[in-house]
Chain A
């Protein structure tokens, strides 16, 4: 374990070098997450016609939608995960073999690759954060405890996103390809995470379903915490549930990995 910890800075350094090797491509990829902007424009137009009131009784005007979707863009940038696609590709091509030969768990090397992309993603998120403060500061919480809680909430969101990708990715050991499963997962993420519509605007029955699923803990919860949707105690309760999901997904991912890797056939070569 200490050996792995010693290797992490180098893994991160090399990962960053890899992430920025194709500068233009990386930037285009990062900027391709435009859906929150589309939804921002759409919901702002709706709010101008008539005020939108959520289940909580909160009224959403243009400024509230601005804050919500700018935060959604930032959260999505930071918690983005592509591990499932990487795993499917590497298992089908047999190139996972090169990761398996190294004395470091492949899940850790995938995680380092994701963390290495963060500096560039933060760089893209920063101007959006500035725009958020300039245009919708009134929508943001003023309780410093909420902002202190936002940090573990973002870490929890990253863990939920990354390990749900790993869990779905490991299914390719059992079913040849799990990309279609990932597409279904993504479709659910779009609907139930609050990525396209704030969960507060969901019909009550659908909202109950959304609250029982892990998707909201990946995007919706950090955005709601950032936009002052909850008092500290409620936010802390939800972050605790989020971390429970993260822990469950970590356990599930490693259990699936342990069983699945025995079925790896190392095609090619």
Chain B
């Protein structure tokens, strides 16, 4: 469905020092630098897959999505989405895709969302009967029946994002690019959005690429992740495998019936948290059984759980390693 080969997107950016002198100087002589936002990435995505793009700010995730959706022309390389070259922006291509950006809106600000839906129906040439059925389904799934007649400017952020998603889907896109779709939403609204996105993917077999800073979005929706850092692809595979690779450790959490001295816990593994009623240890994956056995034998354990380290921590570690590697290379050079 999506094929990316050697994709590069470089921006030419005007650079100048602060202050009036530099401002005047830049009037006569401008200095430009080339910023490699995406610097040679390759991947393939099959129809119906749900893939998460991960990476720190400025890694090139959104730029990649914008190239895939035809907004940006690639500097080098070839991108194909369902056989189309996105940058040509053919009608057939644009009718199959949609990019939802959490920080941009397509809803008409002064009119109710129902008017944007009608506008999209006309633009995408959706037959009225089909539109009625499709919109009925979206309104029901997203529970927006009572808000689509209110002017967009009067909706809450959560209501607006649900309507944005409905507006993006009235033409039934086969490929959905989601750039921070849950940004700014409260936890319960994030769950609603995730469930809806998953249902859409399962019902219509749509291919889905998601970027989000909320790791819960990625964990809940994307069996496969692509990690992009400094414009390069640093990982492509399962989320569980990535976690194992970055943090080949598990967290063992104990609920205790009596306080335990810190030294006793440290003998079992790295102590992440410790108080009178609870202790969390980080232990290598292959030592989990041994540590659990020892703990049950020596500690007043009421309850015990074994889990992966939080995804945020794993990602934070991955990105800080990458920054450290880059700094090391810089010093070596």
Residues of A within 8 A of B (CB): 3, 6-7, 9-11, 14, 17-18, 21-22, 94-95, 97-98, 100-104, 262, 264-266, 268-269
B181 → A minimal CB distance (Å): 11
Measured between C-beta atoms, what is the minimum distance from A117 to chain B in Å? 14
Q: How far is the CB of A90 from chain B (nearest CB, A)?
A: 11
User: B125 — which chain A residues lie within 8 A by C-beta?
Assistant: 3, 6-7
Contact (Cβ within 8 A) B70 A100 = yes
6 closest A-B pairs by CB: A10-B122, A21-B110, A103-B94, A269-B101, A7-B122, A103-B91
Closest to B90 in A: A103
5 new A-B contacts at CB < 8 Å, known A11-B119, A98-B104, A103-B94: A3-B125, A10-B118, A101-B71, A102-B124, A269-B102
With A10-B118, A21-B111, A266-B66 in contact, is A104–B104 under 8 Å at CB? Answer: no
- Are A17 and B66 CB-contacts (below 8 A) given A11-B119, A266-B71? no
Residue of A nearest to B112 (CB): A17
Closest to A10 in B: B122
Q: Is the CB of A104 within 8 A of B123?
A: yes
Q: For B111, list chain A residues within 8 Å (CB).
A: 14, 17-18, 21
What's the least CB distance linking A189 to chain B, in Å?
27
Chain B residues positioned under 8 Å from A264 (CB to CB): 71-72
* B contact residues around A269 at 8 Å (CB): 62, 101-104, 179-180
Which of A17, A101, A264 gathers most chain B CB within 10 Å?
Answer: A101
- Report the separation of the CA atoms of residues A269 and B99 in the bound assembly, to the nearest whole angstrom: 11
Contacts A/B (CB < 8 Å), 30 sampled? A7-B122, A7-B125, A10-B122, A11-B122, A11-B123, A14-B108, A14-B118, A17-B111, A18-B108, A21-B111, A94-B104, A95-B104, A97-B66, A97-B101, A98-B106, A100-B70, A100-B71, A100-B89, A101-B70, A101-B106, A103-B91, A103-B95, A103-B123, A103-B124, A262-B73, A265-B11, A268-B103, A268-B104, A269-B104, A269-B180
CB under 8 Å from chain A, chain B span 137-185: 151, 179-180
Interface residues of chain B, those whose CB is within 8 Å of chain A, are 11, 62, 66, 69-73, 87, 89, 91, 94-95, 97-99, 101-106, 108, 110-111, 115, 118-125, 151, 179-180
- Contact status of A10 and B103, CB under 8 A, knowing A101-B71, A101-B98, A103-B94: no
Nearest Cβ in chain A — how far from B11, in angstroms? 7
Query: Which of chain A's residues has its CB closest to B95's CB?
Result: A103
How far does the alpha carbon of A18 sit from the alpha carbon of B118 in the complex, in Å? 13
A10 near B104: Cβ-Cβ < 8 Å = no
Chain B residue, CB-CB nearest to A9 = B122
The reply to whether B69 and A101 form a contact with Cβ atoms under 8 Å apart is yes
How far, in Å, is B186 (CB) from chain A's closest CB?
21
Residue of A nearest to B108 (CB): A18
Question: CB distance A10 to B91 under 8 Å?
Answer: no
- Which chain A residues lie closer than 8 Å to B119 at the CB level? 10-11, 14
Task: Find chain B residues with CB under 8 A from A9 CB.
Answer: 122
A198: min CB distance to chain B, Å: 39
Chain A hits for B11, CB < 8 A: 265
Measured in the bound complex, the distance between the Cα atoms of B119 and A17 in whole Å is: 12
Chain B residues with Cβ below 8 Å from A3 are: 91, 125
Contact of A7 with B123 in the complex, beta carbons under 8 Å? yes
Write out the residue numbers on chain A whose beta carbons fall within 8 Å of the beta carbon of B122: 6-7, 9-11
Query: How many angstroms between the C-alpha atoms of A104 and B71 in the bound complex?
Result: 14
A258 to chain B, nearest CB (A): 11
B72 touches A266 (CB 8 A): yes
Check A18 against B110 for contact (C-beta < 8 Å). Answer: yes
Q: How far is the CA of A269 from the CA of B179 in the complex (A)?
A: 8
Residue pair B94, A102 in contact (C-beta under 8 Å): yes
Chain B positions within 8 Å of A101 at CB level:
69-71, 94, 97-99, 106
| CB pair B118 A97 closer than 8 Å | no
Residues of B near A103 (CB, < 8 A) are 91, 94-95, 123-124
Q: How far is the CA of A104 from the CA of B110 in the complex (A)?
A: 22
Chain B residue numbers with a CB within 8 Å of A104 are 123
Q: How far is the CA of A102 from the CA of B120 in the complex (A)?
A: 8
A265 to B37, CA, bound (A): 11
In angstroms, Cα B108 to Cα A17, docked, is 10
Kindly state the separation between the CA atoms of A17 and B114 in the bound complex, as whole angstroms.
12
* Contact residues in A for B70 (Cβ distance below 8 Å): 100-101
Distance of A35 from chain B, by nearest CB (Å): 28
A265: nearest residue on chain B (CB-CB)?
A: B11
Shortest beta-carbon distance from B23 to chain A in Å: 14
Distance in Å: Cβ of A103 to nearest Cβ of chain B: 4
- In the complex, which of the residues B97, B104, B180 contacts A97, with contact meaning CB atoms closer than 8 Å? B104
Residue of B at shortest CB range from A262?
B73
Q: Which of B91, B106, B120, B123 has the largest number of chain A CB atoms within 10 A?
A: B123
Taking the nearest CB of chain A, how far is it from the CB of B61, in angstroms?
11
Give the CA-CA distance A100 to B103 in the complex, in Å: 16
Distance A264 CA – B11 CA, assembled complex (angstroms):
10
What chain B residues lie within 8 Å of A10 (beta carbons)? Answer: 118-119, 121-123
CB neighbours of A22 from chain B (8 A): 110
User: How far is B87's CA from A98's CA once the two chains are assembled, in angstroms?
Assistant: 15
Q: Report Cα–Cα, A100/B106, bound state, in Å.
A: 11
Q: Complex: how many Å from CA A21 to CA B108?
A: 11
A6 CA to B126 CA in the complex, in Å? 11
Q: A11: which B residues are within 8 A, CB to CB?
A: 119, 122-123
